Structures are given as C-alpha cells and as structure tokens.
Amino acid sequence: MERNIGFKERRYIEELRILTKATALDCVIDDRFDRVIYVIRQGDMGLAIGKKGDNIRRLQNVLGKRIEMVEHAEKPAEFITNIFKPAEVTGIERVSDDGPVNVFVRQRSDLGIAIGKAGCNIEKARILCRRFCEFEIGEVLLLREDV
C-alpha cells in the first residue's frame, strides 16, 4: 500500500524520534483541525507520550500544532479501536466487502468522545483507515446499554 509522505511529514516524524525516541510509521498534517496525527509503531506509545504526557507537550511547543497519536496494529479492528481511544469500541461491522465500516460504542458519553469536537475524531478515523486499512469509515453508532 502506497503512503505518500512528503518532506514536511518526514521532518515531523524525525522531530518525534529525536524528542521521544519513539518510531512513527506515518504522520498526517491535518490543516482542517490544525493538528498533526502520528501513527506510532506498536509498543512505542508509552515512549511517544512520555511521563504524564510530557513528550506530547514538548512536541506541541516545537511544532506549534496540536498532537494526536494512534498506536498501529496489524489487524484493522484493533487499529480502529486504537484510533477511537479513549472511547470504548464494542464492535466493528462491515456490511459488504466494498462498503463502509460501522463502529459501535457502548456508553453515551463515549459517543461524544468517538465523534470528537466538530467530527475531528471521525475525520481522523477516515484519513487513517484510507491510508492503512484500505476501506472507509461509515458511521459511529451508539449500542444500547441493555445488550
């Protein structure tokens, strides 16, 4: 799968490596929400975040943008669950092979977290799924508590 990483993205990935000693597999500069989204190698999240989030704060100061990190996973369902953290994803359903994926969350409060302010988390999921999973995210649905 071809991911187009430009000069600026490579520079941001290198900046992350220098500041945190963690490895980023990808970097997305999302101007719409004024943020940089890193996809961190599996097992490197603690290193990337740092003690009490210190590394994220340092990186935000250096880059002047909000930083978001997602831990990579080989299985698409695990990767999608990581994208929506800290919301509790209870299920992922794909109706057809070429159709969108629906993501289910249990708690009403998790629905807001999963969607994000102005849909920023849904947009993050769409961007990353196109780049890593080769499918589209459809809807985030609320699963009732009495299940």
pLDDT of residue 146: 40
The pLDDT assigned to 59 comes to 95
Residue 101 C-beta-side C-alpha neighbours within 13 Å: 19
pLDDT for res 108: 78
CB 33 within 8 A of CB 69: no
Range of the domain at 13: 7-71
Q: Are 103 and 51 part of one and the same domain?
A: no
Cα 37 from chain centroid (whole Å) = 7
Query: Which uninterrupted H or E stretch holds 136?
Result: none
Instruction: Give the helix/strand (H/E) hosting 8.
Output: helix 7-20
Query: Which of 71, 95, 115 is where one domain is finished?
Result: 71
Same domain, 93 and 138: yes
Out of 71, 97, 113, pick the residue that ends a domain: 71
Q: Judge whether 147 lies within some domain.
A: no
Q: What is the CATH number of the domain that holds 121?
A: 3.30.300.20
Per-residue pLDDT of the chain (147 residues; tens, 9 = 90+): 446 788 999 999 999 999 999 999 999 999 999 999 999 999 999 999 999 999 999 999 999 999 999 999 999 889 999 999 999 998 888 777 777 788 888 887 788 888 899 999 989 998 898 888 876 676 666 554 444
- Cβ-based neighbours of 56, under 8 Å, separated by 6 or more: 48, 49, 50, 67, 69
> Is 2 inside any structural domain?
no
